[in-house]
Amino acid sequence: MSAGPILTICVLATTLGVRAARACDPVPATARLGRGVCALESVPDGVRTRSCVDGASWTIAAPPVATAAVEGAAGLPLQALGVIKQGQAVDVLVSHGASLWLGVSERRGCGLRPRGLVRYDWKRDAAFAFRGTDAGPCGFLVQDLLLRDDTLWVATDLGVSRLRLSPEDWDEWTHYALSTDGAGLEETACGSLLAVVAEAAAAPGGEELGGWLAEFRPKFVKRLRRREAATGKRGASGAAPR
C-alpha cells in the first residue's frame, strides 16, 4: 500500500483566549492510574510508544511503512472554522486527505478538562467530536497523534488506540494498554480500561474522574448503574454526575 502525503502539525500550548504563560502545568486526573502514553513514533517494525510515567518505551508491532512524507504547515483558523471553541487548546493535530484530526483540551490555570478527539471534514465543513459517543479512542486526554500509512494512532491518558482509515474498517478501533506485569502494551477491550477508571472514580477524591467517565462514555456509566442497582452495590457511578 502506498501512503499519500502525511501532514503533521503540532500545536503546543496554543490556547484561544487564555494566556499561554502558566504558573504550573495541569496534571490530568487519570495520572494516578499510571497508564498514560505521551508520545508515538513510527519505526520499521511498528509504532514506538513512550510512557508518561517513567519514560519507558514499548513497540506495538505493525506492518512496515511503504512510503511516508511528513511536512510542516502554517497555522489554520480553527476557531473561525468552528472546529474548536473559545478557550479550547489544540494539543496536537494531523491531516489525512479530507479529514483533520485534533486532540483538544481546555486548560485554565492549573485545571485541565479534556475534550478528546475531534475530526474535521473539509468537504462537508463539519466537525465531529467523539466525546460522549461511547466510541473512538479509549481515553480522555489525547496526548499524541500519528498517521502511519492509512492508520491513525492515538496516544491517550489510558494507553493507545488505532483506527484504520478505510470505508471497511472506519469504526473498528483497536486498543492497547499496559500489561499486568508492566512489560509492554497489549491489545485489550476498552471496557476493561473503563472498569479501572470506574474503580478509581469510586474511591475518595475520584469525583473528577467520575465526571469525565460520564461525559465521554455515558452508555457505559448507564450500564454500570444498572448492574449496581441489581446487586445493591454503589460504585463508580456514584461519583459520576447524573
pTM of full prediction above 0.95: no
Residue 239 confidence (pLDDT): 43
* pLDDT at position 138: 97
The residue behind cell 511503512 is: 65
C-beta of residue 225 within 8 angstroms of C-beta of residue 241: no
Query: For residue range 167-193, what is the model confidence (pLDDT) as tens digits?
Result: 776 678 999 999 989 889 999 999 999
Cα gap 159→201, rounded to integer Å: 18
Task: Kindly give the confidence (pLDDT) of every residue in the chain, 242 residues in length, as a single tens digit, with 9 standing for 90 and above.
Answer: 444 444 443 343 344 444 444 456 667 889 889 999 999 999 999 999 999 999 999 999 998 886 443 333 345 556 655 567 777 888 899 988 788 899 999 887 778 899 999 998 888 888 899 999 999 999 999 999 999 988 999 999 999 999 998 777 667 899 999 998 988 999 999 999 999 999 999 999 999 999 999 999 999 999 998 988 888 665 554 443 33
- The burial of 117, by beta-carbon neighbours within 10 Å (0-12 exposed, 13-18 middle, 19 or more buried), is given as buried
pLDDT at 1: 43
Residue 25 has what pLDDT? 62
Q: What is the DSSP letter of 33?
A: G
Per-domain residue ranges of the chain: 6-188, 190-238
Q: CA nearest 158: which of 121, 129, 113, 197?
A: 197
Note the pLDDT of residue 79.
60
What pLDDT, on a 0 to 100 scale, did the predictor assign at position 235?
Answer: 56
Map residue 17 onto helix, strand or coil.
coil
